[in-house]
């Protein structure tokens, strides 16, 4: 049993270091969004999003491993049906479905859990 835990722990470190190892390169490639105080504050709203899709402007995205990490986190949020990352412009387009809809705060926390910062949300 200890061998299984040791293996899982080492696998986690490899996954984390994969992105960290390329951090210098990914930081160079990452888009940095500058937004107004109002746009940033809106990401903390707890009112559910009524729109069927949204564009999330995320700081820190710069490598494919990052993209995989953030989309997996967002897909865990109730109401998020799809998440498509665009590393070129540092955005994630999500589609929403079902009765349970996330709030901007829910999405911001999910992005934070993935290791990034949600700067702005535009609904469609």
- As beta bridge partners, residue 91 has 57, 86
CA nearest neighbour of 80 among 105, 59, 60, 107: 107
Instruction: With beta carbons less than 8 A apart as the criterion, state whether 45 and 115 touch.
Output: no
Q: Would you place residue 1 in the very low, low, confident or very high pLDDT band (cuts 50, 70, 90)?
A: low
| pLDDT at position 94 | 98
Helix, coil or strand: residue 104 = helix
- As beta bridge partners, residue 83 has 94
Mean pLDDT of 52-68: 90
Task: Please write the tens of the pLDDT for every residue from 78-103.
Answer: 999 999 999 999 999 999 999 999 99
pLDDT cut 90: percent of the chain above it: 66
Q: Does domain 2-123 have CATH number 3.40.640.10?
A: no
Task: Please write the tens of the pLDDT for every residue from 3-36.
Answer: 544 444 444 433 443 454 344 445 567 889 999 9
Helix, coil or strand: residue 31 = coil
| pLDDT at position 2 | 52
| pLDDT at position 11 | 43
Cα gap 63→41, rounded to integer Å: 27
- Show contacts of 77-82: CB within 8 Å, 24+ apart: 77/102, 77/106, 77/107, 77/110, 78/102, 78/106, 79/48, 79/49, 80/107
| pLDDT at position 27 | 58
Instruction: Please give the mean pLDDT across all residues of the chain.
Output: 83
Mean pLDDT of 69-80: 96
| pLDDT at position 13 | 39
Query: Which residues does 114 contact at the CB level (< 8 Å), separation at least 6?
Result: 66, 69, 70, 72, 73, 74
């Amino acid at each position: 049993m200890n061998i299984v835990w040791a293996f899982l722990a080492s696998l986690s470190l490899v996954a984390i270091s994969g992105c960290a190892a390329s951090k210098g390169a990914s930081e160079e490639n990452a888009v940095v969004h500058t937004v107004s105080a109002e746009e940033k504050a809106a990401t903390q709203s707890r009112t559910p999003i009524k729109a069927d899709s949204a564009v999330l402007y995320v700081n820190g995205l710069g490598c494919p491993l990052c993209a995989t990490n953030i989309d997996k986190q967002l897909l865990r949020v109730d109401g998020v049906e799809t998440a498509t990352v665009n590393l070129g412009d540092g955005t994630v387009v999500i589609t929403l479905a079902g009765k349970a809809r996330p709030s901007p705060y829910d999405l911001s926390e999910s992005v934070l859990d993935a290791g990034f910062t949600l700067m702005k949300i535009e609904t469609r």
